[in-house]
């Protein structure tokens, strides 16, 4: 290999390495503070967004940090200081090594329950807006134990009532009573995505037999005969906290349905997605929500005609001539946090909106900016 070729290869490698370093560098937000005192209700996402231009990279702000070996155990009142380690910004907790330590005149200790540690996204802040519904195989759901009746002559059963289930169930087993909901299908392929199972109540088996007795411990709606009893297993529950991260789907997901069955959804409403674990979706992933841009047709007079004013002739022109039909850019509507994932579908909470969200809205990997509209 001649000297010129070696120089070219060396130059290419240096350029490639520099590109990788640049792409992997954390960029601090203009006007960022030098330190921060953790407040009650803070999340790691909130704190990182105070310092970073690109909050999706927040785990790296806490990475390789002996002072904060477990960032989920940062407590209100802790003072965090921004330092540079190997040229990269890092947050350290004062009083444990690097950074400006707290000055204490007398020895003192602090006892705080682990439940007070700052999580990535505190479930307590959003749990009132979440639902414990499930998306299950329709045939499987139809074969599950069924509510027959109750000790009360009423057809509607609530907390404290004892109901009868047509199956011999393990004593003390905890159950969820689910109402059959909607059947979900992929609108593009027609594939069945699952059966909506709506949680009505929870209960515990107090007597086991051919017909078991279950005492209702909580209810979200009245329980009726015909509802199905499903074990409250781990996959039916949710994590105590979520670590926000950008979704990485190669093909867009769509809003499959609105949990409340309303025509439009807004901030803190729950929606179903048409993607699940089989597609690589995980709890904590964040999607940007977009509405398809309008298709404008140029009529014979050279004037643009919006969709709402198009005639049958304009529709024919739009289908035959790509030059006469121009698609407008997709419109940003907000962001969504996935909190429960099933085989072929997921549940997500709308965490920010600039416009209302509807069924069939597009869900794509978000850009590197913080939530817009907040």
- Average pLDDT estimate for 30-47: 83
Tokens of 338: 């996935």
Distance CA 314, CA 22 (A): 49
- Taking residues 260-285, what's their average pLDDT? 94
Q: How far apart are the first and last CA of the chain?
A: 58
Question: Per-residue pLDDT averaged across 168-190, rounded?
Answer: 95
Determine the pLDDT at residue 62: 72
**Selected residue with higher pLDDT from 14 and 252:** 252
Distance of alpha carbon 32 from alpha carbon 220, whole angstroms: 44
Helix (H) or strand (E) holding 88: strand 88-93
Secondary structure in 3-state letters for 276-335: CHHHCCCCCEEEEEEECCCEEEECCCCCEECHHHCCHHHHHHHHHCCCCEEECCCEEEEE
List, for residues 79-106, the tens digit of each pLDDT value. 888 888 878 888 887 764 343 334 344 4
pLDDT digits (tens, 9 = 90+) for 119-174: 667 666 677 778 889 999 999 999 999 999 999 999 999 999 999 999 999 999 99
Dihedral of the alpha carbons of 198, 204, 206, 210, in degrees to the nearest 10: 40
More confident residue, 23 or 36: 36
């Amino acid at each position: 290999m001649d000297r010129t070729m070696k120089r070219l290869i060396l130059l290419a490698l240096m350029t490639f390495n520099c590109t990788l370093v640049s792409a992997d560098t954390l960029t601090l937000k203009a006007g960022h503070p030098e330190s921060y005192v953790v407040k009650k209700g803070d999340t790691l996402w909130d704190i990182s967004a105070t310092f970073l231009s690109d909050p999706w990279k927040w785990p790296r702000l806490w990475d390789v940090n002996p002072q904060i070996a477990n960032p989920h155990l940062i407590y209100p009142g802790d003072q965090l200081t921004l330092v540079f380690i190997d040229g990269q910004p890092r947050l350290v907790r004062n009083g444990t090594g690097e950074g400006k330590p707290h000055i204490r005149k007398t020895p003192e200790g602090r006892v705080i329950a682990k439940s007070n540690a700052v999580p990535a996204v505190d479930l307590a802040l959003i749990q009132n807006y979440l639902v414990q519904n499930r998306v299950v195989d329709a045939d499987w759901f139809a074969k599950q134990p069924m509510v027959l009746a109750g000790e009360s002559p009423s057809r509607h059963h609530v907390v404290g009532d004892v109901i009868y289930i047509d199956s011999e169930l393990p004593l003390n087993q905890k159950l969820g009573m689910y109402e059959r909901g909607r059947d979900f299908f992929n609108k593009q392929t027609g594939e069945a995505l699952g059966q909506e199972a709506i949680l009505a109540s929870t209960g515990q088996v107090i007597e086991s037999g051919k017909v078991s007795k279950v005492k209702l411990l909580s209810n979200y709606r009245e329980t009726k005969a015909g509802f199905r009893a499903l074990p409250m297993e781990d996959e039916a529950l949710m994590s105590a906290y979520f670590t926000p991260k950008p979704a990485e789907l190669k093909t867009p997901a769509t809003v499959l349905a609105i949990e409340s069955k309303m025509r439009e959804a807004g901030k803190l409403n729950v929606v179903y997605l048409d993607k699940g674990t089989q597609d690589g979706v995980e709890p904590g992933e964040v999607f940007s929500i977009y509405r398809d841009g309008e298709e404008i047709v140029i009529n014979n007079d050279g004037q643009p005609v919006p969709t709402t004013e198009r005639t049958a002739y304009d529709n024919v022109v739009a289908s035959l001539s790509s030059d006469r039909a121009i698609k407008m850019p997709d419109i940003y509507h907000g962001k969504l946090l996935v909190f429960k994932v099933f085989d072929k579908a997921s549940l997500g909470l709308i965490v920010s909106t600039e416009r209302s969200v509807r069924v069939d809205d597009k869900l794509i990997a978000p850009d590197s900016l913080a939530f817009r509209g907040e």
